[in-house]
Structure 1
Amino acid sequence: MADSPSLVEVRAQRASEPTFRAGTVADIPGFRALGEAVVPSTYGPIDAAYAQRMLDEWWVPEVFETSLARNTHLVAEVDGEVVAMANLGRVSRSYRDFPYVTGDREVMWKLYVHPDHQGRGIGRRLLAGIEALVEGDELWLEVVDGNAQAYDFYRAQGFEEVERVDGGPWPDDVWMRKELPMDRAR
């Protein structure tokens, strides 16, 4: 019988340093698994039906295929497993309509870190990677009203709340923007 790994070995495996790379279609199952780990615990307390809607409508292979074709995706992986992802695109190339948005904003549509890997700086590193890809001088994002952890994270990273959009039967969308220096390295 093989020896079981010690607690120290298990912690060392979990603490493996993440690698960062561009996302691909091969990551779609990993994206879905990440969504299943993050969405219910993040959005369930806000609105369980909305959390399920997110998984059913926005965390499905067809949407990721479209998103990968239109947007830039960054992935953090540990031992071959997707543990975080972020993506960047323009409002004009979204598969969703935003009739209340003026201009062609560059938007970080997703930034999610698996709960087992939060607190390790992965989210900040993905955000820095996204910021480096922005062509203009500002980055936008949406946060679901009630997601205080994400809201507070983005505020700490220099984002400011700009507008709230009535979600109707769903939680409101909070749009945040960060001004980026034009002379930043790309």
Structure 2
Amino acid sequence: MYPQVPVSVVNLTNPHIKSLQGKYFLGETDQLNPTDSNRTWGALINPPHSGVHLYFDVYVLSNLSDDNLVSQICFCSSLPQHGKQSHEVSTANLAMHPKTVPQGQIQFGSHLDTSALEAVPVSTRVIPAYSTVSSEKAGHWIIGPGRAILFTLTSAMDHPAPSVISFGWWEEARGMY
């Protein structure tokens, strides 16, 4: 009546499935150098006419200096001005040919004036010297077109504190969910 064969169960996470589909991307900013008078930033940006939603999966804040850094996470309903676009972005599925190209962008910059942004600070983190802080969001943070999630970095020192911000996300056409 019941089969005598063991049952196989496979548990695939959503990021894994999105990677198989060529919809998962990751990348990082160039080196940032915050000081006590220079608030640097990195953001995952969804351009206004992208046609997709970005599902934020993971961030990694790497402090390469001997100073503690403070990072503030902001949800932005306006995009930062004068940022540089990172070219250090790739699909996570390296077996796909041709490679898929993300709509989302990683941008970064320095001397951020937060008063010029429509942003809501949602979290503050301390990144100890020579360490990395990361967090998985598993797609709970969703970035619509014309929006961004921005991370600021500041240092208490007057000399540059080298650091890098990395992001992982997947993309779905608007209206899918």
Q: TM-score range by the shorter chain?
A: under 0.3
More strand as a share of residues: 2
Q: Which has the higher contact order (CA 8 A, sep 6+)?
A: 2
Higher helix residue share: 1
The structure whose Rg is larger is: 2
